[in-house]
Structure 1
């Protein structure tokens, strides 16, 4: 079987299940709701229309910060879809007939990577739309610039989609390395929702720790995008020293490559039944 045939088979396998579109819908709803709330609060704080003594939010760069909500809080969805692309095969034993039909296991993994890239683009577009639509609405309603005429804004959208693609590839690597679906999902959620956020928060108050935490995958993703809610959400917190956007992209790509290679060497070539 050729790579084209294996990729077509993998695409059919993924798109005939409901998991991809369920996660896409949840992504759209979750990011859209969060972006709407943040858009209301941040634009209100920037224009002084919020009741009470809300801390001021700078207007410059506000659109990029709000638009980046998709990657700042939604990156776990492409990470999960990448993980599920592999672990679901181990769980449901569908990898056995796949390897019988395509004995070259590396070819199967390459097919997953190619389909994962396509899914990453799809999830990226969904994520961008879910954060941009409500954010732009609140910006316009408060008389603030949406910055749609700026090339920097469209470059931001492109980097957000690229970040989603890389997160899917990281997920494929995690799934190939950690066969157990429950263990992989729990590990992904614990790291992304607890370990890294706590580490990045602590780095703001521990001298020298930011030199390490800025190379964590979430921080690298934020650097790639070039904007993040992470530092804006806590005005009194010391700011992170982010990587250059291209360095952040290379770091995230490096995580994906290392995890996929480790998964292929350690787990992928082992017996599956």
Structure 2
């Protein structure tokens, strides 16, 4: 398995989409943090909720782009046929899919570290320049920053599993964005308690960001460790389905 993961990491290092998305993630993280601090009133960003919103923005941006990274890299291999040499060397679909997920998780973590670091480097000086005190404790700040890195890594994991299942970059990206920004908000508004274990709710719990809706705040969120386990479970379930479906596709 270690050799398979190393091979997948080599593929990522030689793929132009990885540094491109990394640069975009860092740039957007810096821009978002700066806009939040500069365009918000001091009362909005000076409290606990405002501080979490500013500091978690980098991890959220990195998470969304890491999700796209996982989808594009795994689905792209099937789309362009570059997966064939890998499967000839190792025909075990589940092992290959897990190796792809682990490699993308590492790439997502790197994206998260870069984006979170850039967000912190911009946010604290701008907050100080506007005389906005950071009311969050040092432990809370560290938790938000670490949570942002974890969210980016887990997003890449989920994206890789989803891309392996769908195999079409355009369809997979469109479906993922549709689920996140259309289906989830609708279901959350209709089903009481759904937001607690939805991808959006888990994202808030992992990244340490502010709850986005009254329903999320009222329903409560799982602890971060449970949110991580649930998100990982979702990704592994998708990976298992992708491996099983892959075998059936070969037969058909």
1:151 equivalent to 2:139? Answer: yes
Q: List aligned pairs for 1:117-128, cutoff 5 A.
A: 117-128=105-116
Question: 1:220 — aligned with what?
Answer: 202
Cα distance change, pair 23–225 in 1 and its aligned pair in 2 (3 A): same
Greater fraction of residues in helix: 2
Taking structure 2 as the reference length, the TM-score comes to 0.87
Question: 2:59 — aligned with what?
Answer: 71
Structure 1 gaps of 5+ residues are 47-55, 232-236
Question: 1:9 — aligned with what?
Answer: 7
Question: 2:30 — aligned with what?
Answer: 32
Cα distance change, pair 4–141 in 1 and its aligned pair in 2 (3 A): same
Cα distance change, pair 16–61 in 1 and its aligned pair in 2 (3 A): same
Structure 1 residue aligned with 2:220, among 237, 242, 264? 242
Q: Is the Cα–Cα contact under 8 Å of residues 151 and 207 in structure 2 kept in the other structure? A: yes
Question: 2:124 — aligned with what?
Answer: 136
Q: Aligned residue pairs: how many? A: 250
Cα distance change, pair 194–223 in 1 and its aligned pair in 2 (3 A): same
Q: List aligned pairs for 1:1-273, cutoff 5 A.
A: 3-42=1-40, 44-46=41-43, 59-146=47-134, 150-197=138-185, 199-200=187-188, 203=189, 209-228=191-210, 230-231=212-213, 240=217, 241-243=219-221, 244-267=223-246, 270-271=249-250
Cα distance change, pair 92–272 in 1 and its aligned pair in 2 (3 A): farther
CA RMSD between the two structures:
2.5
Whole-Å Cα distance in 2 between the matches of residues 176 and 254 of structure 1?
16
Q: Deviations over 1:49-98 (max 9, x none)?
A: xxxxxxx5652343222111123444221111111221011111011111
Q: Is the Cα–Cα contact under 8 Å of residues 76 and 192 in structure 1 kept in the other structure? A: no
- Deviation, 1:119, is 0.7
Question: 1:234 — aligned with what?
Answer: none
Q: Is the Cα–Cα contact under 8 Å of residues 206 and 227 in structure 2 kept in the other structure? A: yes
Cα distance change, pair 212–23 in 1 and its aligned pair in 2 (3 A): same
Structure 2 gaps of 5+ residues are none
Whole-Å Cα distance in 2 between the matches of residues 269 and 101 of structure 1?
19
Q: Is the Cα–Cα contact under 8 Å of residues 175 and 184 in structure 1 kept in the other structure? A: yes
Question: 1:51 — aligned with what?
Answer: none
Taking structure 1 as the reference length, the TM-score comes to 0.81
Q: Deviations over 1:19-51 (max 9, x none)?
A: 011111111122221211111133x341xxxxx
